[in-house]
């Protein structure tokens, strides 16, 4: 119980920082704006394509186009790229700023274990990121309102879940990187480079590739999104994401603890 209360106190405090500064508003604004733009482009492309398909129909061909496949899926994929840019913004100051301000001494001498501090900070960032996803999904409400045959909602939910898990991986790693320095800009740039590196691992995903490349691709966080965005939640993907997050938090926890020894 006390553990939960402590973690929650940290979450609350971080949210106060996020919303007491421009960070939360900038992140929300950029995210929803880009969501809207991608949605608009995907939507107009969908309209053109379906118009052409309708014309072809007159000649007896062309399948009915799925909104899920043509509209929602590409938008979610694009937003994964945006998450790559925004995650460092959310995590870079979490520990770096505490160290710079000296407030880490307050947290470290308070009667709560380091793990609870790490968890609180992670959950605070994930919470804000989750809020961003929800705000972005509001765009899709339009589709339900106007579409003659509304899209399936299950793939949308699993897609959002994929986006959340995928971003949470970056956030967990970002928390770790933030423990390494007292300069939040350095933390931000390092995190971004690290995320980009992990992202590119996914490019090795090619059915014709050898076992080594397949293994490398497996570590790329993007490869595990595919099925979920299509609406299939495979246990192995969820386990992959959860273990990736646990690994990031483990590194962060170790880093926080070891700093006392090295200080």
Partner 1 sequence: MIEVENLTKRYGRTTAVDGVSFRVQKGEILGFLGPNGAGKTTTMRILTCYLPPTEGTARVAGYDVFQSPLEVKRRVGYIPETPPLYPDMDVDGFLDFCAKIKGVPGASRKARINEAVEKTRIGDVRGKLIGRLSKGYRQRVGLAQAILANPDVLILDEPTAGLDPKQIIETRELIKGLGGDHTIVLSTHILPEVSMTCGRVVIINKGKVVAEDTPENLTRRLRGAGTLRVDVRGEAEPAAEAVRSVPGVIAVRARPESADTAALEVETEAGRDVRAEIARAVVSRGLDLLALQPVGMSLEEIFLHLTTTDAAHGEAAPAARTEEVSA
Cβ neighbors of 212 (< 8 A, separation 6 or more) are none
Span interacting with partner 1, options 2-10, 68-76, 179-187, 215-223, rule CB under 8 A: 2-10
Q: Does 12 bind partner 1 (CB under 8 A)?
A: yes
Structure tokens at 181: 């320095």
Structure letter (DSSP) for residue 204:
G
Q: Does 20 bind partner 1 (CB under 8 A)?
A: yes
Q: Does 222 bind partner 1 (CB under 8 A)?
A: no
Instruction: Single out the residue of 65, 108, 131, 135 in contact with partner 1 (rule: CB under 8 A).
Output: 108
Instruction: Single out the residue of 60, 111, 207, 211 in contact with partner 1 (rule: CB under 8 A).
Output: 111
| Buried/exposed code over 42-79 (b: 16+ C-beta within 10 A; e: otherwise) | bbeebeeebeeeeeeeeeeeeeeeebbebbbbbbbbbb
Q: Distance between CA 140 and CA 130 in Å, rounded?
A: 16
Kindly tell me which of 12 and 152 has the beta carbon lying closer to partner 1.
12
- Contact predicate 83/38, CB 8 Å: no
Closest by CA position to 158, among listed 81, 84, 72, 246: 72
Kindly tell me which of 200 and 258 has the beta carbon lying closer to partner 1.
258
Q: How far is the CB of 172 from partner 1 (least distance, A)?
A: 22
Structure tokens at 28: 């929300």
Kindly tell me which of 8 and 85 has the beta carbon lying closer to partner 1.
8
CA 219, distance to chain mean position in Å, is: 16
Q: What are phi and psi of 32, to 5 degrees?
A: -70, -35
Cβ neighbors of 52 (< 8 A, separation 6 or more) are none
For the segment 118-177, give every residue that binds partner 1 (CB under 8 A). Answer: none
Q: Does 55 bind partner 1 (CB under 8 A)?
A: no
Q: How far is the CB of 249 from partner 1 (least distance, A)?
A: 19
Kindly tell me which of 23 and 219 has the beta carbon lying closer to partner 1.
23
| Tokens 């293994």 found at | 215
Q: Does 13 bind partner 1 (CB under 8 A)?
A: yes
Span interacting with partner 1, options 103-111, 129-137, 212-220, 234-242, rule CB under 8 A: 103-111
Q: Does 182 bind partner 1 (CB under 8 A)?
A: no
Q: Distance between CA 24 and CA 86 in Å, rounded?
A: 11
Kindly tell me which of 111 and 207 has the beta carbon lying closer to partner 1.
111
Q: Distance between CA 263 and CA 254 in Å, rounded?
A: 14
Helix (H, G, I), strand (E, B) or coil at 216: helix
Q: How far is the CB of 142 from partner 1 (least distance, A)?
A: 37
Q: Does 112 bind partner 1 (CB under 8 A)?
A: yes
Instruction: Single out the residue of 44, 49, 55, 101 in contact with partner 1 (rule: CB under 8 A).
Output: 101
Q: How far is the CB of 113 from partner 1 (least distance, A)?
A: 7
The residues binding partner 1 (CB under 8 A) are: 2, 5-6, 9-10, 12-13, 16-17, 20-21, 101-113, 260-261, 263
């Amino acid at each position: 119980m006390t553990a939960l209360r402590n973690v929650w106190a940290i979450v609350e405090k971080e949210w106060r920082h996020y919303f007491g500064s421009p960070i939360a508003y900038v992140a929300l604004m950029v995210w929803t704006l880009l969501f809207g733009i991608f949605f608009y482009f995907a939507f107009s492309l969908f309209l053109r394509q379906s118009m052409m398909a309708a014309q072809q129909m007159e000649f007896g061909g062309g399948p009915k186009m799925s909104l899920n496949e043509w509209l929602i899926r590409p938008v979610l994929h694009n937003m994964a790229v945006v998450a790559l840019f925004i995650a460092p913004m959310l995590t870079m100051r979490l520990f770096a700023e505490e160290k710079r301000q000296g407030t880490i001494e307050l947290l470290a001498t308070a009667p709560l274990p380091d793990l609870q501090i790490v968890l609180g900070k992670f959950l605070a960032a994930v919470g804000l990121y989750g809020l961003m996803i929800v705000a972005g999904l509001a765009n899709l409400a339009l589709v339900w309102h106007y579409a003659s045959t509304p899209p399936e909602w299950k793939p949308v939910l699993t897609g959002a879940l994929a986006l959340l898990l995928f971003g949470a991986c970056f956030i967990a790693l970002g928390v770790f990187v933030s423990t390494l320095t007292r300069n939040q800009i350095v933390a931000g740039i390092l995190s971004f480079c690290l995320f980009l590196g992990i992202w590119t691992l996914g490019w090795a995903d090619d059915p014709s590739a050898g076992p080594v490349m397949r293994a490398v691709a497996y570590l790329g966080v993007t490869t595990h999104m595919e099925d979920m965005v299509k609406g299939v939640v495979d246990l192995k993907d969820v386990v992959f994401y959860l273990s990736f997050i646990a690994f990031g938090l483990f590194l962060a926890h170790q880093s926080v603890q070891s700093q006392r020894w090295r200080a």
